[in-house]
Structure 1
Amino acid sequence: MLPATPGNSKDETQETSFSRQGSLRKVVLTQQVHKENLFGRQNEDLNKFYKSVHQEYIVLAEYQMLQSENLPGIYVIPSRKSCLNWFGVIFVRSGLYEDGVFRFNIVLPDTFPDGGHPKVVFQSEIIHPVIHNSTNELHLLDGFPIWDKREHHIWQVLKYIHWIFYNFNSSLAHAINKEAVILYKENHDEYTKKLKDLIKINEQHFYDLPETEDKHYLIFEPYDPQLHDTIREKFLLLPEDKKTKISGYSWVNRGGYNSLMRPNHLENVQDNS
């Protein structure tokens, strides 16, 4: 809702029609100061309103952008209470972390898209070389040494999250959790056992009711054959052109994270999606 535009309100009418008391110069001066303060507050409120709407538009654009990327097993959604806080969960389907389900939050700076790196904090029990042991925060500095709002986007952070689970050995070079690295290198079996125990703990609490009342919190329910088998069969019977497809190019060079970087041989290709 836009702030109200100042007009000739009842209070102002009364202020200009009251009987003179004391110096006229004093009365006029007081009225002028009052109007200047009023317009000053209005400009400040409009500026805050514009910044808020502009920021929400940018966040919405980020969310729409990541929907066009192929991010298997990752689900995210901005909080209903604040567009700067996102709920996320990743289902790991292969590799050392297979069967792991890990919840995380993405916290954007108050001045987003300015303000530097987003913050990714895992809510689930986890052990990983690039996740701080005490805070469960993902170490992003090696993946994104300098956060540039013109080149970096939230979907790239999600791809980095995906990468650390499916390219574990390569992620060791980015390690911030030295204890995890030592345990993995010196006692691989113990690391694996500890990891599997944490995965089991997360599985046991995956369907717990959330501590937050935010309606955008990602909630899952156990598979019910009587309910979900019917839905699954209907989906499988749909014609291929009715099923959701991902088409077009992401324009990201292999091995990089910068968007809109078309390979040389595709410079003249038009995206018809």
Structure 2
Amino acid sequence: MDINDKKDIVETSFQRKGSIRRVLPSSPQGDSLLNVSARMVSNSKPSFPKENYSQFFLEYNLISEFNMVSRFREKYSGVYIIPSAESSLVWFGIIFVRSGMYEGGTFRFQIFFTDQFPNGGSPTIVFENSVFHPAIHEVTREFAVRSFFPEWRKDVNHVFQILVILKQILHCVDARTFEPVNEKAAELFKSDKAAFQSRAKQDVAASKELLYSSSSSSGSSSSSNTYTSDPHYIKFSQFDPEIHENVLSLKDTKPESVSISWVQPGSLEPFSKPQY
């Protein structure tokens, strides 16, 4: 066999027969694997329902909001916030008013979020006890968030901004800067500031009496607080010398200074200090 015969055999062996398109074998039902794969892609769904994603986004947004509350704490000193241990949609808060007509008041409140936050509108703030103020509803004790944030805008408005305003309106009453929700309080503030302050001081005195109480009862408009059993509910106890005296004594205790230098004072030589 000469070289030309070998060349013909090689060319014949590697010669393409039929279409270049590779045909996949059929499935047992008679459908090609290519069609089966196409249907699998078109009919594919997430491994869990779509609505579960919204729960992840809700938790993420709430965590982000609380981080911002912690970061900007100096803007609303005297206000303290902690999320509920039982529901991330409820936060507990308390404000210590240090000046103005409500000076000395300690007012507890709750912040409520919708399960659509931040797309479902602004959070709701409800005080536990009566606060006679133009921006706080007399019956529901709800703070008029919408008077300051008519449209809650995602990524623009945040909870810490509400807390800043909450502190401002309790330290300095000025019903001209917002739409009142307590008309009686607004009218009294305009007509007789002395009478208004007298009424505000009644709520201040009541808040002090209820500071150590686990009940939110305050007159006829109150109801029992359903959150006092929550481990994160903000509670206070009376001063007990046996418990708290030891804590106060630690306030004036200064820790011993610990040297972290290995250089003898007055020397530039490393590790020249005898004891390091």
Q: Please give the TM-score of this superposition, normalised by the length of structure 1.
A: 0.66
What is the count of residue pairs matched by the alignment? 202
What are the equivalent positions in structure 2 for 1:1-273 lying under 5 Å apart? 43-44=48-49, 47-69=50-72, 70=74, 71-169=76-174, 171-174=175-178, 175-210=180-215, 211=225, 212=227, 213-238=229-254
1:38-91 residue CA offsets vs partner (Å, 9 max, x unmatched): x989632xx333322321122112112211211311111111221111111101
Distance of aligned partners of 1:222 and 1:172 in 2 relative to their CA distance in 1, 3 Å threshold: farther
Deviates more, 1:175-184 or 1:153-162: 175-184
Higher helix share: 1
Distance of aligned partners of 1:238 and 1:165 in 2 relative to their CA distance in 1, 3 Å threshold: farther
RMSD: 2.6
Distance 1:82 1:177 in 2: 30
Asked if structure 2 preserves the Cα contact closer than 8 Å seen for 1:77 and 1:87, the reply is yes
Asked if structure 1 preserves the Cα contact closer than 8 Å seen for 2:101 and 2:201, the reply is no
Asked if structure 2 preserves the Cα contact closer than 8 Å seen for 1:129 and 1:172, the reply is no
Deviates more, 1:55-64 or 1:91-100: 55-64
Distance 1:52 1:64 in 2: 18
Q: Point out 4+ residue stretches in structure 1 off by more than 3 angstroms.
A: 39-43, 235-239
1:150-174 residue CA offsets vs partner (Å, 9 max, x unmatched): 11111111111111112213x4431
Structure 1, unpaired ranges of 5+: 1-38, 240-273
In our comparison, the structure showing a higher alpha carbon Rg is 2
Asked if structure 1 preserves the Cα contact closer than 8 Å seen for 2:95 and 2:108, the reply is yes
Distance of aligned partners of 1:61 and 1:41 in 2 relative to their CA distance in 1, 3 Å threshold: closer
Asked if structure 2 preserves the Cα contact closer than 8 Å seen for 1:172 and 1:181, the reply is no
Percent pairwise identity = 32
Distance 1:164 1:229 in 2: 36
Q: Please give the TM-score of this superposition, normalised by the length of structure 2.
A: 0.66
